[in-house]
Structures are given as C-alpha cells and as structure tokens.
Amino acid sequence: MSRWFNAHPIAIFLPLYILIVVCAECAVRYAWSGYKSPDQQNVIPDTRFHHGYRPDIAFTTHPSPGDRFAPAHNSINRLGMRGPVPGEKVGTRVLLLGDSFVQADEVDFALTFGQLLNRHFAPQIEFVSHGMVSWSPTPEFSWLYHQGLSLHPDEVVLFLCSNDFYRVGAFHQTDAAYRQQAIYRNGIPISYQLAAPSPWKQTLRHSGLIQLLRTSYSELGLRWRRTQPSSLPTIRDEIVHLAQPPEKWPPELYDNVRATLDVVASIHAYLKENQVAMHLALVPLPFAWPDETPVGKQHPLYGWPADFSVSQTGIEGHTRAFARRQDINWIDLQSAFDRHKERTNDRLFNRADGHWNAAGHRVVSNALRTHFSGGVAR
C-alpha cells in the first residue's frame, strides 16, 4: 500500500490541495469586503455607451477603509439611472451629465446636488442627473444619442473631470481610450467594440482569490512603477502637468486635450442642432487643498503626503477659454469651492475615495443655483 502511495502522491495530495483552495476561496468571499460576484456587479459593459448601470437594481455603497461616510442606498431605475424614472416634463428640464462625481453613489440621493436644486427650483426648473464611473465626453455623447435626448432636456450641464484628458498610457479609462473603441456614424459614437471574455476567464471572474490576487498585484505594481524610470506617463504625472499652463504640457498631452475638447465641441453642435442649450463645468478635485482626502493622496496610485496639494489651474483656464470660444455657458465650480474653503473648515471630499461628500454637494448646488437663478440658456 505504501508503495502505491509513493508511486501516486498526486492521488493523495490533490484532494487536500482542492480542500485548501476551496476553504481559502470561502474565507476570501466571507471576509474580504472587496469581493463582488460578476452576477452582482452594479456596472456592466454596454455596447451603446461602453458601460452603465445594470437596470432595476438596488444596492448600498459602504465606506472604503479610511472613509467615514454613512452607507448610502442606491436605487437604479429601468433606464439605468439613479432615482425614479423622469416623469412627464412640466417646466424647464436640465440634464446634469458627468462621471462618478455626478453618479455620487456614496451620498444619499436626497442629498445630491441635483435633488437639492430640485427642492429649490421646482416646479419651474427640473434637474435630472446621470453620472457613471469613469465616463468621459465620448461615452457621454453616446448616452445622449441613445438615451439622454429622449428625456427631452432643454439644457445640458456637462461636467468635465481632469482624468478625461489623461493619455492612454497613464489611465485605461480616459477619453482617448474610449475614442479608440468607439464606432462612429456621422461623427457620433454610436457603439463600442468590447472584447467578450472567454468562458474560462468568465468562470475565473467569479473567484474571490483571483480578485484578491489581481487587486494585490495591481497595488504592488503601482508601488514598483513609481520607483522605476519609464517613458510612460502616470496619473501623478498627468495631474501635475495639467496644473501647469498649456504651453508647458508635453506635446502628446496637449494634442490629447485638444482631441478631447473636440468631442465636447461635437456634443455642443449636436445639442444645438436639437435645440438644447449647453453648459460646461470642470469638477473641482481634492488635490487643490492640503486638508482634503488625506488617505486617498497616500494611495499607491499617487504616493503623495497626506497634506500634498496641487491645483488644476492649467486645464481649468484652458477649458474655460475653449468654452468662451465655443459660446458655451461656463459654470465656475472651482471658485465656489475656493470661497467656501476660505470661509469655513468644512471638508468637502471623502477622506479616501476623493469624491464630493454631502457638504461638497451643497457647495455645487449653491453654485448652480446662482448660475440658473437668472434663467436658463443664458
């Protein structure tokens, strides 16, 4: 018998290995807050506008390590938008469109800036919000084409974020990456070429161990990459570059910013053709103030001290000048945040993930109240 065991060690140890892996998988799924089954993922691929919410779901966003916000309930309607489906239009309808700052899944729906605006302006003006993580002008254009204009907005406020302008080498979900995947018709990005995962990869995506290993590998890779010389730009590089005047940007970055703003110009032309006015805003980021997002700044993605600060003066001035040339209404959120920070000790961003907290949403709401109090389409 012992000779048989010696000759067939795999037959003995394979069940033990399988048991260890199964136990480890169960432990990760139970103990690791980062695990999420693909069947339970809230955001899914969508060939119409690259990715969006799974329709008709509800979920709760819990604070990540280092954050302190209360768990926020999110209810997604059949259109894949947070909140109820917009009803029949009564007054003027303003569509607020952007990325995760407008998505705002860490803030209770009633406390988001769109709902604060509705409480102030109803029934004369109705604000409808839709934001999606890592969206940028190209997928936002696609969503307007497929869905947004069917809501019959009179105005659209497009919220730009500085990561819209990063180069592909620095960020895989920047507008340059979406432009490469988009399929155009008459200049409109109507769909996206999305690679379907193989059945084997689809099965592995359910594994908590694989998800944990990928997350750990990604963080280690970020730490290692910061110590190595490389010709590829990093997110840190792009943030610092975009703080500078445009004439100091690397030529490739300058060209990429121009190409991204070309998409915004196309959106403006498309909306104008459909008798919809456009407003433009640049999202204020926590990096501008030493006391904001101390945990997030130390993330391996950035590796900065907790009190590090860098402005986005360069890209803000550049996009503001672009809006003026295009005759697009500009909404100055940065000055609103600056004034509030000068007068108070309020923290306007989450400590770790860097999005606006409820206080930040109040500042945005007040800025838009001022902008729209004189009427729309100004």
Q: Which overall architecture, per CATH, does domain 32-372 show?
A: 3-Layer(aba) Sandwich (3.40)
The answer to whether 348 and 357 have CB atoms below 8 angstroms apart is yes
Amino acid at residue number 351: R
Q: What global pTM score does this model have?
A: 0.86
**Residue 223 has what pLDDT?**
53
Report whether 56 contacts 82 (CB < 8 A): no
- The number of beta carbons lying within 10 Å of the beta carbon of residue 54 is 15
362 CB neighbour count, 10 Å cutoff: 17
Half-sphere exposure of residue 335: CA atoms within 13 angstroms, side-chain side: 10
Cα 207 to Cα 53, 199, 370, distances in angstroms: 22, 14, 49
SS (H, E, C) 298-332: CCCCCCCCCCCCCCCHHHHHHHHHHHHHHCCEEEC
Q: Is the peptide bond before 290 cis (omega within 30 degrees of 0)?
A: no
* Cα–Cα distance, 303 to 235 (Å, whole number): 11
Whether residue 281 is predicted with pLDDT greater than 80 in this model: the reply is: yes
Instruction: Write the burial class of residue 123 (CB in 10 Å: 0-12 exposed, 13-18 middle, 19+ buried).
Output: exposed
What is the chain's Cα-based Rg? Answer: 23
> Which of 32-41, 45-54, 271-280 is predicted with the least confidence, judged by mean pLDDT?
32-41
pLDDT for residue 86 is more than 90: yes
Per-residue pLDDT band for 41 (boundaries 50, 70, 90) equals: confident
Return the higher-pLDDT residue of 29 and 64. Answer: 64
Give dist(CA 142, CA 45) in Å, integer.
14
Of the pLDDT bands very low, low, confident and very high (cuts 50, 70, 90), residue 372 is very high
Residue type, 348: L
Q: Are 30 and 68 in contact (CB under 8 A)?
A: no
Backbone CA torsion sign across 268, 270, 273, 274: negative
Residue 222: per-residue pLDDT:
47
Number of helices (H) and strands (E), helices first, in the chain? Answer: 14, 11
